[in-house]
Structure 1
C-alpha cells in the first residue's frame, strides 16, 4: 500500500501545483481500489477522497486551487493554441493576473468556433493521439483531440467511478447501447468495466427488438450473473427500448438488469418511471460532454445536479447577455476544463449550449452541498423559446402519455404573440381527449403554450429535432428476410 500512498501524494501535488499528472499514478490508485474491493467487498470510509469522488476540501484551499488552475489553464492556452494566443494578445490579458473575480475578462468561446477550426484549439506542446467526434444531434459534429496521457488519465478516473459510483463488480456484465462511432465513450466504458473485472458487451444502436432479445438472453458464463446486469444508453434509445418492451409484452422478470445509466440527452421523469417499470432496474443519469471531459455533474438524492470543481470551472450565464444568471433563473453552462487534466484541446469559457436553472432560496443541504448545484439539464439553447419552453418540460408533458409513441417526436413553433405552439406525433387521430389532457397539464405546469397540435403522420409536422436513437446501426439480423436460410457462408 506504500506504493499507492506515494501515487496519491504525487497526484495531489500535481493538482496543487498544476503540474503534469502521471497517468500511471492514477492507474495504480485504480488498480489498488479494485484489489481492495476484491478482498473486502466494500470501499473504505476514505474512498470519497479518491480522485473524482467529490471529497470536501477546506474552502480556502479550494479557492487557492481554483485560482491557480484558472491561471495555469489560461497560460497554457495563450502560449500554445493559435486561437487563444490571438485572443489574449488582442485584448492584452495577462493570464497570471486572472482569478474568479476577473475571469470574465476572457471572452466566451462559442461552440461554432470549435466546430469551425478545431485545430486552432489544439496545443502545440502536446502530440494529439485521438480525435473524438460528438454525435452532431444539435448541428455539425464537434471534433476534440486528446493526447495519449489524457486518454489514460480519463480511463483511470472512469475505472474509479465504475467501481465506486456504479458499483461494478466482477460478477456484472455491462451492455453499451451507444453509437459505435462514439469512439471516446465506447473506449472509456469498455476499459473501465473490464479493469474492474466486469464483462462488456457492445450493442450499438441496433433494432430495439434485437436489443431486448440480447438483454433477456442467458449468458451462461462462469462467475457471472445469469444475464446482462447493467445497461448504458442515451435517453432516446432507452425510450425506444421501453416502447418495444411495452408493445411486445415483455415483463421486468424477463431481464436481469440491476442498473440503467443514461447520458447524452434529457431524461424525463415519466420516461424514468416507465423504464424502471419495464426493466425492473433503477435508472440514473449524469452530465458529461466530450468537450469538457472529465468535468461533469452528478444528481444528488434531492434532485440537484452537482458539478465537480476538481476538473474545471463552472459558470451559469444568461445566453443573451453573458452575465451571471440569477437565483431561480435559466442560464447556459459555460465551462473551463482545467490543465493538467486537459492538455491537448484547450477550452476557456466554453459555451456548451446546455441550459440549467440555478437554485432559488435556501442553500442545498444534501450529501454534496459543498459542490456547485444547478437543476438537471433542461435542454439546448436555440433561442429565447428554448428557455421559455425547454426540452425537459415538453418531455415531462408528453412522455407520460401511452398514446404518444416513443421516442417522442415534437416541434415548437413561435406564434406572433411570442408564445409557442407545440406539435406532437401521436399514434392515431382523432385524439380530442388526449389533447385536452395535455393542454390541462401544460397549463398546470405554467408552460407558455399558445396551443397543442396533434399529428398521426410525421411528414406533415414541422421538422423535429434529431435524436441519438436515430443513429440506427444495421446488422444482418435486421436486414435478412424472415425465414432466410443461413449456413457456413452466411
Structure 2
C-alpha cells in the first residue's frame, strides 16, 4: 500500500515541522486500515505505530517535539487570538523563548474565560465550521469552534480508534445513548462507526425502559448481528439502564451486547460490575473532552489512565496554587492541545476542572511510556471536592441495591469541620442499609463524619445534575378526539 506509506510520511513530516495536517492523509490511513482488517481479520503488530495509538517514542525525540509544539501553539495563539495576544502583551512573554521548563510562565486559562467569550479564543487564521457545545451538566455549556479540517482529522482518528480500540467490524451495530446536543461526540461516533462498515443507531437519552426494549429488539438486518452489539453512553445513564434492567427482570441473554463504552462522567467500580452482570458485556471507559480533542486518556490493565503526548501537553496542578502536584497527590488536569491538530479554538494551559491522583511511583504496565494518572476522580468545585471526590462516594453508594440509580447525593461541611453525606434512598427507616453504608464508608477511609438518609429528594440539600437528567422525550400519542378537532372534522 504505497499510497498509505506516503500518507504516513506526509503526516509524520507535518508533525515534526508543526505544519498543517492534510486530513486526506489521515483519511487514507484510516481507510486502508479498514481494508486491511476486512482482508486479514486482525491488525498487525505495527498497528501501534498508527496515529493516536500510543506507540513508544524515543524520550529525546519526545522532548524535542514537545518543546517545538508548545512554542508553535503559543505562537499561533498570540498571533491569531485576541485573548492570548492581550495576555502575552501584558506580561511581556515571547512565545518563541518558551521551553518546557519555563512553560509555567504562561497563565492558566480558566474554563469561565472560554465560556464567557468563546470567540476570543478563535484563530483569525482559521475558518470556523462547527460550534461544538458540551452538555453543560456542570454549568453553562462550553462552546468550542472547529474548522472543517479539524473535523475531518478528528473523525479519521476516531475511525482508527473504532477499528483498533473498540474492535468494531461490519457485522456490528453501535447504539449511541448520549445527549444529542453534545454535537462533536455524536458526529465522531456516527462517522467512525459507519466508516468501518458497522451500522449506527442514535438513541439519545430517552426513557431507560424504551432504551432497553430497543437494545433487546431483533434488528433483522442483512450481514449484521441479530441485535445491537455496542453501546456508548454516560455513566449516569448507564446507571439508569442498570436500575431498570434489575427491577424489570431483564437478563444478559435478552441482549446481544458485546461491549459497553462509558465517557463523560465518573464510572464507579460497583456500577461497572452491576452493568456487566445485567448486560453480559464488558464495560470500559476512556477520557475525552470536546475542548481538548484529539487528546485522550486510555486505561491500562493496572487501572491507571495514560494520557497521549502526541496531541497535547498534560500538566497536573494544585487547583488553588497552580503548582505541580507531587506523587500520590490530587490535582487538576491542565491541558494544552497542540497545533497543527487544533487550528480554530486555541487553548493554552486550559484548566479542565477534572481531578486525578498521581501514582506514588513510576507505573509498571503496558503503557508505562505514557504519563499516568488515576482515572478521573470528579470535578473541582472547591477543596471539599478534592478531599471527598465523586469517585470515592460512588464506589460506596452504588454498591448498595437499595440506593436508587442514578444516585442522588450531596456533601455539606459542618461548623465543627465535619463532612455530612446526604443520600437519597428508597424507603425509610433503613437501619440495615445505614449500617452497610457506614461500614463501607469506614472501610474506604473516606473523610465523611456523618450520613443523612432521605426518601424525599425535595427535602435534601440541592444535588447536582447528571447527564441522565438531559432526557430527550418522544412525541406522545395524540388522542383521537383531539386529532379530529385539529383536522377540522
Measured against the shorter chain, the TM-score band is over 0.9
Helix, strand or coil at the partner of 2:90: helix
Structure 2 partner of 1:394: 393
Cα shift at 1:178: 0.4
Cα shift at 1:52: 0.4
Contact 2:388/2:447 (8 A) holds in 1: yes
Cα shift at 1:483: 11
Name the Cα RMSD after superposition. Answer: 1.6
Contact 2:81/2:121 (8 A) holds in 1: yes
Contact 1:332/1:352 (8 A) holds in 2: yes
Structure 1 partner of 2:104: 104
Cα shift at 1:466: 0.7
Q: Are residues 1:426 and 2:409 paired?
A: no
Cα shift at 1:482: 10
**Structure 1 Cα separation of the partners of residues 464 and 123 of structure 2:** 34
Structure 1 partner of 2:189: 189
Q: Are residues 1:220 and 2:217 paired?
A: no
**Residue pairs, 1:84-233, within 5 angstroms:** 84-233=84-233
Structure 1 partner of 2:312: 312
Structure 1 partner of 2:367: 368
Q: Are residues 1:294 and 2:291 paired?
A: no
TM-score under structure 1 length normalisation = 0.97
Helix, strand or coil at the partner of 1:275: helix
Helix, strand or coil at the partner of 1:261: strand
Cα shift at 1:441: 1.2
Q: Which runs of 5+ in 2 are unaligned?
A: none
Deviations 1:42-74 (A, max 9, x none): 011100000000000000000000100000000
**Structure 2 Cα separation of the partners of residues 353 and 174 of structure 1:** 30
**Structure 2 Cα separation of the partners of residues 314 and 419 of structure 1:** 34
**Structure 1 Cα separation of the partners of residues 49 and 82 of structure 2:** 37
Deviations 1:74-107 (A, max 9, x none): 0000000000001111111111111110000000
Structure 2 partner of 1:454: 453
Distance change in 2, residues 1:485/1:30 (3 Å): farther
Helix, strand or coil at the partner of 2:61: helix
**Structure 1 Cα separation of the partners of residues 448 and 425 of structure 2:** 18
**Structure 1 Cα separation of the partners of residues 121 and 478 of structure 2:** 48
Cα shift at 1:15: 0.5
Contact 1:424/1:452 (8 A) holds in 2: yes
Contact 2:56/2:369 (8 A) holds in 1: yes
**Residue pairs, 1:57-96, within 5 angstroms:** 57-96=57-96
Q: Are residues 1:329 and 2:335 paired?
A: no
Contact 2:266/2:376 (8 A) holds in 1: yes
Contact 1:415/1:450 (8 A) holds in 2: no
Deviations 1:341-390 (A, max 9, x none): 001000000000000000003x1111100000000000000011000100
**Structure 1 Cα separation of the partners of residues 257 and 190 of structure 2:** 18
Distance change in 2, residues 1:281/1:402 (3 Å): same
Distance change in 2, residues 1:427/1:92 (3 Å): same
**Structure 1 Cα separation of the partners of residues 259 and 69 of structure 2:** 35
Cα shift at 1:419: 2.7
TM-score under structure 2 length normalisation = 0.98
Q: Are residues 1:480 and 2:477 paired?
A: yes
**Structure 2 Cα separation of the partners of residues 425 and 262 of structure 1:** 24
Structure 2 partner of 1:438: 437
Structure 2 partner of 1:467: 466
The count of residues paired between Structure 1 and Structure 2 equals 486
